[in-house]
Structure 1
Amino acid sequence: MTATALPDAANETWTSDAETRSTSETLVIALDGFEGPLDLLLGLAKSQKLDLSKLSILDLAQQYLAFIGAAKNLRLEIAADYLVMAAWLAYLKSKLLLPDDPEPEQGQSGKELAAQLAFRLQRLEAMRDAVASIMGRKQLGVDFFARGMPETIKLIRSSIYHSNVFDLLKAYAEQRKRTAVTSVQWGGREVWSIKQARERLSMLIGASVNWEEIDQYLEEYFSQAELGKTVTASTFGASLELAREGYLEIRQAEAFAPLYLRWRGAERPAAVEAHNANQAKDNA
Structure 2
Amino acid sequence: MTVNDKEQLLASSTKLTFKVDAFEGPLDLLLHLIKQNKMDIYDIPMVEITSQYIEYLHEMRVLSLDIAGEYLVMAATLINIKSKMLLPQRPVVVEPEREEDPRTELVQQLLTHQCFQVVSEELGKLAAKRAEHYTREQEDAPLDVQQEYLNGHVSPQKLQQALVQVLLKKQLHKPKVQHVHKEKYTLKEAVTRLTKRLRTANQPLNFENLFDDQNGPEYFVTTFLALLELMKRGAATATQMKDLGPIWVRGVV
Query: Larger radius of gyration, structure 1 or 2?
Result: 1
Query: More relative contact order in 1 or in 2 (CA 8 Å, sep 6+)?
Result: 2
When normalised by structure 1's length, the TM-score is 0.41
When normalised by structure 2's length, the TM-score is 0.45
